[in-house]
Amino acid sequence: MKISDLPFGTTTWSEVPQTRHKGETGEALWRTRQCGEVRVRMVDYSPNYQADHWCSKGHFLLVMEGELTTELRDGRVFVLKPGTSYQVADGAEPHRSRTGPAGARLFIVD
């Protein structure tokens, strides 16, 4: 990822419109800013959300609230709590996520 031609700016996330994305169960509410070639998102996952696909996109992801369980297609499972992050490259390990009864809030850069 290369960040260029991007002036300093601030974001008040509560003012960024939400888009809804259904999962296999539950939903994700995305607040998205496109900053040049970089997409930055604040994502709220509902309680008991389950992704409906395997993702091969690269991300930097930080759990801000709740708990996120991320499964890799090879069977490994990671439980992330607030203050925990992961990073994965485009086309590397396919992954999908789910939440428990509390849901989760994430900050994602991709």
Q: How high is the pLDDT of residue 40?
A: 97
pLDDT band at 3 (very low <50, low <70, confident <90, very high): confident
Mean pLDDT, the chain, integer? 95
pLDDT on residue 2: 76
CATH-assigned architecture of domain 19-109: Sandwich (2.60)
Predicted local confidence at residue 63, as pLDDT: 98
Q: Specify the pLDDT at position 56.
A: 94
DSSP 25-46: BSEEEEEEEEETTEEEEEEEEP
Question: Does residue 100 contact residue 47 with C-beta atoms inside 8 Å?
Answer: yes
The strand pair at 59-72 and 27-35 is best described as unpaired
Q: What is the mean pLDDT of residues 25-46?
A: 96
What's the pTM value of the predicted model, to 2 decimals? 0.91
Residue 27 has pLDDT above 80, yes or no: yes
**Where along the chain do its domains lie?**
19-109
CB atoms near residue 107 (< 10 Å): 15
